[in-house]
């Protein structure tokens, strides 16, 4: 299981190295232009070294003497920077991304944390590895509420699904959700948008089709129990009743429910049909599920 946090963490080492390279380049530009500044800084490094050596040898008086030479040189440096209009932080590292100060996350005024746009590559990788490799063009930003007509209803659906996945508002109490809609009403698009939106908020999410569970390896099934949000698309009573799928779903739902993790199943069947035609163990769980349509 890969999370956006891990991918961002991995990218940080690269960014630190880049920052150091940028800094060295910037500093050497100033040194080339102002050789006196380079000389002052070289002397400062030498003085600091000597001071430490003197202290280690117990020659306190000598160390103090070096200390005063060091502060004199510091004042000289400050004046030099000022006289030549050199910014005092010319030798400090700059952030590569000003928006997030290289943390990878930004927070809105309301306090919602989001993955920063400088981490788009990591986001794409995370989407790919979270079951959405085939949906690279689907994203929350180009979600159009008026797609297929009824804009208000789709807007409400989207926010209802997001609230359900985040356990917000009146959707706090349920962990298992059924999102029902007629065929060809853009359910998959919506479900993928929601899963991507959750990842963008720094959480982990996985998207799969119900019938894919049949062929899933044990590692992935173990991961299904751990994602913050799991979206199971094309859920149907006949598919979910297949022996292996019913077994896997039953244990996955049980573990996720115990951990308070949110699961959304997407289906064209209405709740009553689902419950009466499903595997009996699943039916018991679906009976208590929240319903969005
Ligand atoms: Zn950023």
- Give 239-252 pLDDT, tens digit per residue: 999 999 999 999 99
On whether residue 115 sits in a domain, the answer given is no
115 φ, ψ (degrees, to nearest 5) = -70, 135
Question: pLDDT for 48-93, tens place per residue?
Answer: 999 999 988 888 899 899 999 999 999 999 999 999 999 999 999 9
Do 175 and 284 belong together in one domain?
Answer: yes
Number of Cβ within a 10 Å radius of residue 73: 15
Mean pLDDT, the chain, whole residue set = 92
Determine contact, residues 271/241, Cβ cutoff 8 Å.
no
Do 42 and 164 belong together in one domain?
Answer: no
Give distance in angstroms: CA of 98 to centre of ligand 1.
Answer: 7
Do 250 and 188 belong together in one domain?
Answer: yes
Interatomic CA distance for residues 132 and 172, integer angstroms: 26
Give distance in angstroms: CA of 124 to centre of ligand 1.
Answer: 15
Domain span at residue 65 reads 4-83
On whether residue 221 sits in a domain, the answer given is yes
Give distance in angstroms: CA of 96 to centre of ligand 1.
Answer: 8
Give distance in angstroms: CA of 229 to centre of ligand 1.
Answer: 25
Do 66 and 156 belong together in one domain?
Answer: no
In 34-150, which ranges are continuous DSSP H helix?
35-56, 60-83, 120-127
On whether residue 93 sits in a domain, the answer given is no
User: Using 50, 70 and 90 to split pLDDT, how confident is the model at 137?
Assistant: confident
Which is more confidently placed, 26 or 155? 26
Of 55, 83, 111, the one marking the end of a domain is 83
Of 16, 51, 83, the one marking the end of a domain is 83
55 φ, ψ (degrees, to nearest 5) = -65, -40
pLDDT for res 141: 65
Do 183 and 279 belong together in one domain?
Answer: yes
Give distance in angstroms: CA of 95 to centre of ligand 1.
Answer: 9
Do 54 and 160 belong together in one domain?
Answer: no
Give distance in angstroms: CA of 202 to centre of ligand 1.
Answer: 14
Determine contact, residues 15/21, Cβ cutoff 8 Å.
no
On whether residue 257 sits in a domain, the answer given is yes
On whether residue 125 sits in a domain, the answer given is no
Interatomic CA distance for residues 196 and 142, integer angstroms: 12
Say which CATH number the domain at 211 has. Answer: 3.40.50.300
Buried b (16+ CB within 10 A) or exposed e, 254-267: eebbeeebbbbbbb
Number of domains in the chain: 2
Do 25 and 141 belong together in one domain?
Answer: no
Give distance in angstroms: CA of 69 to centre of ligand 1.
Answer: 42
């Amino acid at each position: 299981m890969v999370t956006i946090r891990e991918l961002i963490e991995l990218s940080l080492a690269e960014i630190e190295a880049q920052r150091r390279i940028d800094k060295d380049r910037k500093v050497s530009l100033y040194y080339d232009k102002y050789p006196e500044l380079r000389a002052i800084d070289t002397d400062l490094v030498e003085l600091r070294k000597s001071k430490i050596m003197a202290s280690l040898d117990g020659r306190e008086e000598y160390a103090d003497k070096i200390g005063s030479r060091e502060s004199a040189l510091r004042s000289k440096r400050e004046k030099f920077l000022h006289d030549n209009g050199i910014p005092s932080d010319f030798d400090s590292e700059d952030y590569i991304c000003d928006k997030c100060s290289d943390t990878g996350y930004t927070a809105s005024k309301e306090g919602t944390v989001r993955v920063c746009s400088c981490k788009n590559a990591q986001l794409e990788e995370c989407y790919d590895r979270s079951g959405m490799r085939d949906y690279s063009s689907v994203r929350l930003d180009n979600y159009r509420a008026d797609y297929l007509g009824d804009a208000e209803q789709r807007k409400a659906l989207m926010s209802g699904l997001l609230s359900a996945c985040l356990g917000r508002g009146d959707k706090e109490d349920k962990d298992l959700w059924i999102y029902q809609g007629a065929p060809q009403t853009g359910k998959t698009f919506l479900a993928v948008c929601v899963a991507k939106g959750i990842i963008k908020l720094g959480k982990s999410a996985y998207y799969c089709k119900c019938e894919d569970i049949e062929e899933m390896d044990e590692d992935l099934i173990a991961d299904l129990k751990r994602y913050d949000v799991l979206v199971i698309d094309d859920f149907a009573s006949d598919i979910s009743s297949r022996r292996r799928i019913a077994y896997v779903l039953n244990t996955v739902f049980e573990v996720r429910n115990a951990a308070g993790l949110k699961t959304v199943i997407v289906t064209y069947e209405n709740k009553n049909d689902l419950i009466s035609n499903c595997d009996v163990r699943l039916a018991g769980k679906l009976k208590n599920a929240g319903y969005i349509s």
